[in-house]
Amino acid sequence: MRARYLEMTNPEFEQFLSGNLKGLTPDALGVIKEEIIRRNLDPGVFDSVLAQQQAEEPPFRVYDEEACPVDEDVRIWIERYFQVLLEIFGKENTLGRKVLVPRRSDFPIRYDGSERAAHETLSIVATQMEVPVEQITLDFFEDHLGAITEGSPGGLYWGKGEEGKFEISLVRRKLDDPEGMVAMLAHEIAHIKLLGENRIEENDELLTDLATIFFGLGVFSANAAFKAYYDYKYYGWSQAGYLTQMEWGYALALFAYIRGESQPFWANHLCDNVKADFIQGQNFIANNEEIILV
């Protein structure tokens, strides 16, 4: 990994360090610390990496069909973030936007693990999110982090390159995971919508994840997060994305509420666990409309 770090510019290395780096080995942490010192970066960057290694597991939750699937403080910040996104992207656009699901009519692509399939997927996702695909450059990287960490970034957003195009990268293992590929591309293009189009000044990964819902791609994001969460829980892999299964379920319930959808067709495409939290979220919202912030 030291050789890979040496190939990175300072902005690229800092972007890498801002991602999900849970589960690093002591040797890997030592290499990162040496590289931070060599580059004369803020020592606080390493403290942030170190803090990720000490993150605690969320407490066990007892299912209650009448309760919100997330804690009260989490419910409030999700709803406040929805207020922000409604202001940014407009309620009318949100109400009328088509929701895409994992079916051939939405993604008429021959998925064979090729870069061609990825570029065709990019075209559909970019169009859905109202970014001209010709303004985006997509490249691919190998999953070198697998040897030193429990998880690694599936995608990266680099901003605008020298040619004035937005640059994003996708890990090659996603080429064999069409739904995960859609989720990852949606997240990186959400960075374009928020940061690249100057709608926010500082990166906010939670807001970025939620933005994919507003562009009709939340089913992919939620399902990808659950699959990775399951893997992390039982096999030691890391969580994909920045929201938990329960947070995705409630956020999608809030999305359906805003759109006046009591039984949206797209909910049938959610994996069972996310769908359970979605339905629980719907029940909570229906019984507590007076406190919902959107």
Alpha helix locations (H) across 131-271? Answer: 178-191, 205-214, 218-235, 245-258
Distance CA 9, CA 58 (A): 35
The whole-number pLDDT of residue 65 equals 61
The whole-number pLDDT of residue 31 equals 79
Distance CA 178, CA 128 (A): 16
pTM, rounded to two decimals:
0.74
The whole-number pLDDT of residue 147 equals 38
Q: Which residues of the chain have pLDDT under 70?
A: 1-4, 23, 25-27, 54-65, 144-153, 226-241
The whole-number pLDDT of residue 149 equals 37
- Residue 193 identity (one-letter amino acid): K
> Closest Cα partner for 248 from 70, 119, 52?
70
Count CA atoms closer than 13 A to 108's CA, side-chain side. 1
Residue 104, both tokens: 């051939």
User: Chain-wide mean pLDDT for the chain?
Assistant: 85
Residue 212, both tokens: 């994919």
Distance CA 225, CA 242 (A): 8
The whole-number pLDDT of residue 49 equals 80
Alpha helix locations (H) across 54-195? Answer: 72-89, 91-96, 115-128, 178-191
